[in-house]
Amino acid sequence: MGSDLLFAAKSLEMTQKLRVMAQVRNAHLAKRGKKDEVTEWLESESRKMEEFLNEWIRNRVVEHPAYEWFSQVKGVGTLNIGKVLAYIDIEEADTISSLWKYAGYGVTNGKGDRPVPGKKLCFNRRLKTMCYRLGTSLIRAKGAYYDYYVKEKKRIERKAEEKGLKIVSGKETEGTISRGHIDMMARRKMMKLFLAHLWLFWREALGLPITKPYAHQMLGHNGYVDPWKMVEGGDKDASSL
């Protein structure tokens, strides 16, 4: 599934860009009372390709080893999770921290990984983008991961105030921290939890090694966060993890 899904995801991105390009040109031509046969054909055909690829990805996601779990998480649609799964080689990611690192949620010298001019990226930029989009969907859905996000946001705000930092809405200056910065920190915590849960279910389903004490330790600062408590309803029996 891995290479096929990745190719489909990349093809979908290219097709979407092509469709938007043709759509914009058709709109500009229409304002001038003109038409272009090639541009009209391109918009029409790229829409068909987009629909086909969307459906193909959805069908493959249903077959995913961790589908039983993530399909019950509020805010996880088959298309947005498919675009995340496409960029992950779960056999290569043999620890939760290695998955975090590859997805752009790693830490180097005490700071979150980010692009450094002149240096090769230590994470996959596309995967990080897809994780951000999935995170937005989780927040909008207001499910269990949203609740975790809100809890983390309040905790970060409390710690900032304890340090004497003033929370501001605009640009940060000395002695302040912006609400946007706090939001990104809480989003990061939420997505790291989701990726940790995904890692556990995916590797267990494939019979791959899992260091359980380490996995439990990395799932939350205040103890083990049961993945089944994060699905809709949250009343399913805990898994064997």
- Which pLDDT does position 10 carry in this prediction? 95
* Boundary residue ending a domain (12, 31, 63): 63
- Which pLDDT does position 116 carry in this prediction? 83
* Dihedral sign, Cα of residue 66, residue 71, residue 73, residue 77: positive
51: amino acid identity, one letter? E
The C-alpha atoms of residue 71 and residue 81 are separated, in whole angstroms, by 9
177's enclosing H/E stretch is strand 176-178
**Per-chain mean pLDDT for the chain:** 90
* Boundary residue ending a domain (42, 63, 84): 63
* Boundary residue ending a domain (63, 85, 105): 63
Domain shared by 39 and 118, yes or no: no
Beta bridge mates, 176? 166
Cβ-contact 66, 52 below 8 angstroms: no
Domain shared by 39 and 111, yes or no: no
Name the band, by pLDDT with cuts 50, 70 and 90, for residue 107: confident
**Residue 239 predicted with pLDDT over 50:** no
- Which pLDDT does position 1 carry in this prediction? 56
Domain shared by 15 and 75, yes or no: no
- Which pLDDT does position 213 carry in this prediction? 52
Chain segment 51-79, per-residue pLDDT in tens: 999 999 999 999 999 999 999 999 999 99
Domain shared by 56 and 126, yes or no: no
The C-alpha atoms of residue 122 and residue 101 are separated, in whole angstroms, by 7
Domain shared by 108 and 169, yes or no: yes
Domain shared by 101 and 209, yes or no: yes
Domain shared by 94 and 59, yes or no: no
Name the band, by pLDDT with cuts 50, 70 and 90, for residue 212: low
181 burial via Cβ count (<10 Å: 0-12, 13-18, 19+) = middle
Domain shared by 111 and 175, yes or no: yes
Domain shared by 6 and 95, yes or no: no
Domain shared by 39 and 128, yes or no: no
Beta bridge mates, 168? 178
Q: In which domain, by residue range, is 199 found?
A: 66-241
- Which pLDDT does position 115 carry in this prediction? 83
Chain segment 128-187, per-residue pLDDT in tens: 999 999 999 999 999 999 999 999 999 999 999 999 999 999 899 999 999 999 999 999
- Which pLDDT does position 114 carry in this prediction? 86
* Domain count of the fold of the chain: 2
Domain shared by 1 and 82, yes or no: no
* Dihedral sign, Cα of residue 183, residue 73, residue 143, residue 241: negative
